[in-house]
Amino acid sequence: MAVSSFPVTRLRRFRRTAPLRGLVRETRLELDRFVMPLFVAPEPLVNEALPAMARFDLDGLVHEADSLAASGVRALMLFGVPADKDEEATGAWEDDGIVQQALRALRPRFPELVLLTDVCLCEYTSHGHCGVVVDGEVHNDRSLELLARTAVSHAEAGADVVAPSDMMDGRVGAIREALDDHGFSSTPILAYSAKYASAFYGPFREAADSAPSFGDRRGYQMDPANVREALRECALDVEEGADAIMIKPALPYLDVIRAAREAFDLPVAAYNVSGEYAMVRAAAQAGWLDERAAALESLTAISRAGADLVVSYWTRDLPSWL
């Protein structure tokens, strides 16, 4: 890099005014790249401290999707909170499960909205783990069939993209094969490839009612200390047929986003998770931070690190902020 030094070079010249800064800005936030997570449940539940983490019933969901679409939001990621939970996560894959009903309500009304679904079992199992439990352990291979069944039922109900977040080995391949067998060879898989066993999922687990009833998720989600392993996870998912890979959480893992961006040519997504949103909300509530400024800076940093698309609870605020 050729540089001439001060006083010839003065980097402040292009910082003097907003239009000058705009000309040389390297990273821009565009609404097209953001995905709004939404929780659908039999009963609505308002969340005053974290408004983006409310639960909607089907009518409320349609209403919310309507206002999001009208404001310019392009993509929604659906999470379900079922009426009943069991060992087989029946609510995840049954034809009239809560997410399947939500898809059937939204699909015909909003042909222009991209509908993504989280494919996981934790919201639907009685024990709150992301797979089938056998002898006190989450059984990898026995979970694959249920995950694949869930993905197919989402596609049948109208999902545009399925996003497996369970972290079982081999699930992307199992889902790809099942989708293809059922005539959904055009449905892309956005794999939560590097999903860490993180302390930042707390508010989500409350919203989705998905906290594990025993143990934790460290036996299947990644160790926060590892980045080389994250690249192996991504490589395996790509080999199994992932169309895009996701890193989650986002802010504490910007190095992982950057590493994935450099190693792979397919789209890289980042999930700006509930704890990242909650920290800023809480600090803003205490008068310590400006929510809009802190949120936009966070989302800019995630994009700068290399994320092409971003799942964020602030997506609903972006139309008025940008």
Catalytic residues: 195, 248
Q: How far apart are alpha carbons 214 and 20 in whole angstroms?
A: 55
Kindly indicate which of the ranges 21-29, 115-123, 134-142, 292-300 contains the residues binding ligand PBG, using the contact rule CB under 6 A. 115-123
Contact set for ligand PBG, span 262-291 (CB under 6 A): 273-274
Q: Decide if residue 118 touches ligand PBG (CB under 6 A).
A: yes
Q: Does 120 bind ligand PBG (CB under 6 A)?
A: yes
**Amino acid at the residue 39:** F
CA distance to 17, 49, 90, 101, per residue, from 285 (Å): 31, 9, 39, 36
Q: Is 56 in the site for ligand PBG (CB under 6 A)?
A: no
Phi, psi dihedral angles at 65 (to 5 degrees):
-60, -35
Looking from the CA of 114 toward its CB, the CA atoms found within 13 Å total 21
Residues 260, 268 contacting (CB under 8 angstroms): yes
Q: Which is nearer to ligand PBG, 184 or 271 (CB)?
A: 271
CA–CA dist 48, 158 (Å, integer): 31
Neighbours of 319 (CB within 10 A): 15
Residue 263: CB atoms within 10 Å: 14
Q: Does 39 bind ligand PBG (CB under 6 A)?
A: no
Q: Give the shortest CB-178-to-ligand PBG separation in angstroms.
A: 19
- Check residue 151 for interaction with ligand PBG (CB under 6 A): no
Name the residue nearer to ligand PBG (CB basis): 6 or 214. Answer: 214
CB of 211 to ligand PBG, least distance (A): 8
Chain residue at closest Cβ approach to ligand PBG: 204
Write down the least CB distance from residue 4 to ligand PBG, Å: 47
- Closest approach of ligand PBG to the CB of residue 275, in Å: 6
The runs of H, that is alpha helices, within the chain are 18-23, 58-71, 90-93, 98-109, 140-157, 171-181, 202-208, 228-240, 254-263, 274-285, 291-305, 318-321
Give the number of residues in contact with ligand PBG, rule: CB under 6 A: 12
For ligand PBG, the closer of residues 66 and 169 by Cβ is 169
Which CB sits closer to ligand PBG, 66 or 209?
Answer: 209
- Closest distance between ligand PBG and the C-beta of residue 226, in Å? 17
Chain-centroid distance of CA 38 in Å reads: 10
Region near ligand PBG per CB under 6 A, out of 93-101, 203-211, 222-230, 292-300: 203-211
Q: Determine what percent of the chain falls in helix, strand and coil, rounding each to the nearest 5.
A: 45, 20, 40
Q: Among residues 322, 270, 271, 312, which one has the least CA distance to residue 292?
A: 322
Among 36, 75, 122, 309, which residue sits at the site for ligand PBG (rule: CB under 6 A)?
A: 122
Residues that bind ligand PBG (CB under 6 A): 118, 120, 122, 130, 165, 201, 204-205, 210, 217, 273-274
